[in-house]
Amino acid sequence: MAKRFSRNPFRIYWWVFVLAAFVLLRIAQEYRQPDDNQPLAEGTYRVARVIDGDTLLLESGQRLRLQGIDAPETVKPDHPVEPWGPEASAFARQFVEQAGGEVRLVFGIERIDAYGRQLAFVWHGDQMLNAELVRAGLARARLDYRYSGTMKRALATAQDEARDARRGIWSGEIVAGATSE
């Protein structure tokens, strides 16, 4: 019998490898994180906290990125706090508080960004957080992404209002505590 295995020594290694791979796959399935990249349905959601001006954390644990805008950074690793970033975060926090922590999400064509965050337009009543941040001069409209023309026009109009009124990032002022690089 020993002679049979000596003719093909790789056969036993092959079965050990297959068995080990099977065991590792089973263990990985047990410890797998829930799939946070499943698109959410439109509706009302509770916000656990505001991460920064254009990112929210939902109670479900999913990160939500406000679609069509770009607010100055405040929490990006290895990146300085940008001018108007703390104000954008405070504005978003106040919006969520006024909504009682519950906001309505409406989605565009693209639903998930490159970082696995949900992309949405965030509403409380007839106010859209995305547009209100832009109107206050605390975010820029990003019209180069794929979402509805109606939303693009709303964000472009809000940005024109902020720019004409020289609000926030359009004021030319550098706010205290932030560094620009």
Give catalytic residue positions. Answer: 65, 73, 117
Burial pattern 81-97, b for ≥16 Cβ within 10 A else e, equals bbbbbbbbbebbbebbe
Task: State the number of CA atoms in the 13 A half-sphere of 89 facing the CB.
Answer: 16
Query: Among candidates 45, 31, 151, 138, which has minimal Cα distance to 88?
Result: 138
Q: Rounded distance, CA 25 to CA 151, Å?
A: 44
Q: Residue 70: what are its φ and ψ, rounded to 5°?
A: -140, 110
CA angle, 164 then 76 then 104, to 5° = 65
| Exposed / middle / buried, residue 146 (Cβ in 10 Å: 0-12, 13-18, 19+) | exposed
